[in-house]
Amino acid sequence: MEIVVAIKVVPDSQSIIVDPIKKTLNRSQAKSVINPPDRNGIELAISLKEKYGGTVTVITMGPPWAEDQLKEAISMGADNGILITDRYFAGADTYPTSLTVAKTVSKIKFDLVICGEETTDSSTAQVGPGVAEHLKIPQATFIHSLEYQPNEKKILAERLVEGGIEYLSIPLPAVVTASLNMNIVRAPTLKGRIRGKKAVIVKWGLKDIELPKEWVGLSGSPTKVREVKTEESEYREVTILSGSISEIVDNLYAVIEKVDLND
């Protein structure tokens, strides 16, 4: 099976620091990582390849340094990495992002495209479905398990929905989006790390993707951000109540009694 995994490089939420003066997130100091559910997508792709053969190609649209995360995917067991990078792609909202990813996929031989369920930095969950729409192929989002039926060239996917499980039988080619924690993501072996380090990442720009520049990046984005504001939080006085439990309850009751609900 020929599998393409689309990954996004996002700031590591564990290493984002809040600027104590500006009260904004300092993303420049945050480490870049593979979007967490995309790691589950890579794991799914590699385990399908191990069972049924084929190749796993990992792609991302991002800045030049995003090749480190493609190399990480190769160290886990993916075969190839393609970095879609060009200044024209900058400032893309979800529409040109899915168009650019879909156009890239259409240039590779594929049976299955795997995306993550959503990202940790924008979390719209629109890119996977958008890729399927642009490619005009079926999709199954938020899947938590997938079986391949090689004789019928279709997949059986399970989605967790409110109040139950939805079972989908989908002919290939198709797009699925992998749920966070749908599988246990392997750590790269030492041999894998060496392979990842040595891997040569293919870089494609606007000319390779063959899309008009007006359709990509900021100019291809229907979303216009007019203003970004930082929500100022007021300083609130904190009182720590001490004493026995009944004293704390009495003191808390006295505090609550004084609260003006119209304030």
Ligand X SMILES: Cc1cc2nc3c(=O)[nH]c(=O)nc-3n(C[C@H](O)[C@H](O)[C@H](O)COP(=O)(O)OP(=O)(O)OC[C@H]3O[C@@H](n4cnc5c(N)ncnc54)[C@H](O)[C@@H]3O)c2cc1C
Contacts with ligand X, residue ranges (CB under 6 A): 6-8, 35, 37-38, 60-62, 91-94, 97, 101, 115-116, 118-119, 121-128, 223, 225
Residues with Cβ within 8 Å of 241's Cβ and at least 6 positions away in sequence, in order, are 247, 248, 251, 252, 255
Helix H or strand E encompassing 101:
helix 94-106
- Residue whose structure tokens are 């203003």: 227
Least distance (Å) between residue 45 CB and ligand X: 11
Burial 208-244 (b: 16+ CB within 10 A, else e): ebebeeebbbeebbeeeeeeeeeeeeeeeeeeeeeee
Least distance (Å) between residue 90 CB and ligand X: 6
Give the three-class secondary structure for 156: strand
Q: Using the minimum distance from each CB to ligand X, give the nearer residue, 131 or 168.
A: 131
Q: Using the minimum distance from each CB to ligand X, give the nearer residue, 61 or 157.
A: 61
Query: Which sign, positive or negative, has the C-alpha torsion 43, 124, 65, 82?
Result: positive
Question: What's at 67, amino acid-wise?
Answer: E
Q: Using the minimum distance from each CB to ligand X, give the nearer residue, 7 or 155.
A: 7
Least distance (Å) between residue 218 CB and ligand X: 7
Q: Using the minimum distance from each CB to ligand X, give the nearer residue, 142 or 172.
A: 142
CA within 13 Å, CB half, 1: 29
Q: What are the phi and psi torsion angles at 80 (to 5°)? A: -135, 160
Least distance (Å) between residue 220 CB and ligand X: 11
Long-range pairs of 222-229 with CB within 8 A, sequence gap ≥ 24? 222/93, 222/95, 223/93, 223/94, 223/95
Q: Around Cβ 21, how many Cβ atoms within 10 Å?
A: 5
Least distance (Å) between residue 132 CB and ligand X: 11
Least distance (Å) between residue 201 CB and ligand X: 14
Q: Using the minimum distance from each CB to ligand X, give the nearer residue, 164 or 222.
A: 222
Q: Using the minimum distance from each CB to ligand X, give the nearer residue, 79 or 193.
A: 79
Least distance (Å) between residue 235 CB and ligand X: 30
DSSP 247: H
Q: Using the minimum distance from each CB to ligand X, give the nearer residue, 225 or 240.
A: 225
Give the residue closest to ligand X by C-beta.
116
